[in-house]
């Protein structure tokens, strides 16, 4: 896995060079996709940079990207799942909370995940069976076992079900660390529960491995395995069943 992780960092470096060059540019071009979410020229350029490095590597892997879909590779080489800029809304407004998400999947299993947030000066990664890391230091989820002592977070509170509102009122602190960042903070043990109303595979593939390897747990709001287009819940594990219960309208 060491070679795979090194290559993930190489891909992140290529994406970072593109995204940082466009960040806070006064002439950045931004469009609305069919689902009305924004996409910038930096999103597309960063994904193309990743695709180019993968294609030139000779590793035989494909790419599934948010902007360009599936392409390249073939056979048993696996594929890189890429979100070139997670947090595009923040990116286009000049806020530093955005990242490139990379996950290496083989036979339906993600073995390597990496999150690079260059405007924050931070990078997180995980290798299946080898733990989770934040800027080169091992990270671990918290040991908090009561919601009264917990910090919870969601990207868009207005889109969350009533069960989340009840859970947030019970928590020691309710925060809004958006997009990838809240899941990285769960892996670091800084917050205890994070959730989004719906995520796609490129949104969660890397952070699911990161949280899991840090000792946490990720599911849908019903407790099933994460699935594209479904709600996503990550926790330190100790609070997970109670969080699922709350989201299902039961007493946590």
Residue 34 or 8, more confident: 8
Is the pLDDT at 215 greater than 80, yes or no?
Answer: yes
Residue 78, Ramachandran bin (φ over 0: left; ψ between -120 and 50: alpha; else beta): left
A 10 A CB-CB count for 176 gives: 11
Residue 233 lies in a domain: yes
Is 126 in contact with 216 (CB distance < 8 Å)?
no
Is the pLDDT at 74 greater than 60, yes or no?
Answer: no
DSSP 98: -
Boundary-marking domain end, from 71, 103, 130: 130
pLDDT reported for residue 73? 65
pLDDT reported for residue 68? 84
Is 49 in contact with 17 (CB distance < 8 Å)?
yes
Boundary-marking domain end, from 130, 164, 190: 130
Q: Is residue 118 located within the same domain as residue 165?
A: no
Q: Is residue 70 located within the same domain as residue 115?
A: yes
Average pLDDT of the segment spanning 169-194: 97
pLDDT reported for residue 75? 55
Is 125 in contact with 112 (CB distance < 8 Å)?
yes
> What percent of the residues of the chain are helix, what percent strand, and what percent coil, each to the nearest 5?
35, 30, 35
In this predicted model, what pLDDT tens digit does every residue of 98-120 receive, in sequence order?
999 999 999 999 999 999 999 99
Boundary-marking domain end, from 103, 130, 157: 130
Q: Which domain holds residue 202?
A: 147-247
Largest CA distance in the chain: 53
pLDDT reported for residue 31? 77
pLDDT reported for residue 252? 46
Report how many domains make up the chain: 2
CATH code, 37 = 3.30.540.10
CATH code, 236 = 3.40.190.80
Highest mean pLDDT among 21-30, 221-230, 243-252: 221-230
pLDDT reported for residue 70? 87
Per the confidence metrics, is the pTM higher than 0.85? yes
pLDDT reported for residue 249? 78
Q: Is residue 186 located within the same domain as residue 97?
A: no
A 10 A CB-CB count for 145 gives: 14
Instruction: Kindly report the average pLDDT of the chain as a whole number.
Output: 93
């Amino acid at each position: 896995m060491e070679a795979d992780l090194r290559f993930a960092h190489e891909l992140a470096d290529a994406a970072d060079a593109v995204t940082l060059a466009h960040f806070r540019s006064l002439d950045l071009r931004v469009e609305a996709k069919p689902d009305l979410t924004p996409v910038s020229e930096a999103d597309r350029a960063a994904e193309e940079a990743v695709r180019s490095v993968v294609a030139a590597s000779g590793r035989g892997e494909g790419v599934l990207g948010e902007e360009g879909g599936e392409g390249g590779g073939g056979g048993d080489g696996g594929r890189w799942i890429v979100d070139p800029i997670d947090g595009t809304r923040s990116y286009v407004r000049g806020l530093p909370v955005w990242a490139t998400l990379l996950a290496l999947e083989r036979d339906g299993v993600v073995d390597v995940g990496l999150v690079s947030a260059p405007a924050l000066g931070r990078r997180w990664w995980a290798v299946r069976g080898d733990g989770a890391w934040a800027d080169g230091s091992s990270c671990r989820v918290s040991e908090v076992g009561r919601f009264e002592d917990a910090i919870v977070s969601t990207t868009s509170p207005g889109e969350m079900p009533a069960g989340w509102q009840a859970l947030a009122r019970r928590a020691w602190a309710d925060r809004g660390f958006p997009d990838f960042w809240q899941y990285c903070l769960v892996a670091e043990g800084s917050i205890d529960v994070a959730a989004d109303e719906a995520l796609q595979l490129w949104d969660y593939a890397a952070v699911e491995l990161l949280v899991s390897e840090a000792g946490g747990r990720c599911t849908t709001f019903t407790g099933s395995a994460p699935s594209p287009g479904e709600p996503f819940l990550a926790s330190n594990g100790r609070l997970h069943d109670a969080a699922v219960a709350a989201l299902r309208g039961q007493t946590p």
